[in-house]
C-alpha cells in the first residue's frame, strides 16, 4: 500500500519534471553555395604576371602584360612592336580589379572596361561576355610568366 501511495505521489513529479526538459537541437546552418568566381579565387593560382602578343593592324603585334596581386590590384601595359622594336610610348593602366559573381572573370577598373577569363596559368582577354572556358574562340590568351630558379 505504501509503495502504491509513493508511486502515485512520485509519478506526477516525474512527469512534470520531464515536461520542462527541452531537447537541444543544433541551429540550422546556412547552406553555402560556391560560385565559379569563388572557386577560381580560392583554388587557382592566379596571382602573378601574364604576357601576350595581341594582333595589331598597323604594327607587327602589341606586347601586353598583366600583373595581378592578391589584394585586388592590377597593372596592365601595352606596347606596340614594329620591325622588332617598340613603337611609341607604352600604355599603362593600374588600379583595382573585381570578380564577376557568376563566372571566373575579372574586370579591370579604369582600363577600357577590360574583362579576363581566369584559368590555370593563363588569363584570356574577352571581347564578349562568356560563362565557360569552352566558349573562348580567338581571344588573346595571356600565359603566366613562370620564374625559374
> Each residue of 96-120: pLDDT tens digit?
999 988 888 899 998 788 889 888 8
Phi, psi of 66 (to 5 degrees): -125, 125
Q: What is the mean pLDDT of residues 46-52?
A: 93
Q: Average pLDDT in the 28-47 region?
A: 64
pLDDT tens per residue across span 67-78:
999 999 999 999
Q: How many CB atoms lie within 10 A of CB 30?
A: 6
Q: What percent of the chain has pLDDT over 90?
A: 35
**Is the pLDDT confidence value at 24 over 60?**
no
pLDDT for 59 beyond 80: yes
CA distance 42 to 67: 18
The pTM (predicted TM-score) of the whole model is: 0.66
**12 vs 94, higher pLDDT:** 94
Residue 18 contacts residue 114 (beta carbons within 8 Å): no
- CATH number attached to the domain at 36-144: 2.40.128.640
Ordered alpha helix ranges (H), the chain = 2-19, 36-43
Q: Phi-psi region for residue 2, left (φ > 0), alpha (ψ -120 to 50) or beta?
A: alpha
pLDDT > 70? residue 53? yes
Amino acid at each position: 500500500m505504501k509503495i502504491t501511495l509513493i508511486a502515485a505521489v512520485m509519478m506526477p513529479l516525474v512527469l512534470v519534471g520531464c515536461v520542462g526538459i527541452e531537447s537541444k537541437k543544433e541551429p540550422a546552418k546556412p547552406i553555402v553555395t560556391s560560385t565559379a568566381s569563388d572557386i577560381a579565387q580560392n583554388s587557382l593560382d592566379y596571382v602573378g604576371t601574364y604576357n601576350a602578343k595581341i594582333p595589331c593592324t598597323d604594327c607587327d603585334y602589341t606586347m601586353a602584360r598583366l600583373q595581378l596581386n592578391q589584394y585586388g590590384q592590377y597593372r596592365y601595359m601595352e606596347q606596340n612592336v614594329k620591325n622588332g622594336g617598340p613603337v611609341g610610348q607604352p600604355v599603362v593602366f593600374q588600379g583595382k580589379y573585381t570578380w564577376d559573381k557568376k563566372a571566373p572573370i575579372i574586370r579591370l577598373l579604369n582600363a577600357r572596361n577590360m574583362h579576363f577569363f581566369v584559368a590555370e596559368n593563363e588569363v584570356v582577354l574577352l571581347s564578349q561576355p562568356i560563362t565557360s572556358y569552352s566558349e573562348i574562340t580567338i581571344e588573346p590568351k595571356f600565359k603566366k610568366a613562370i620564374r625559374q630558379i
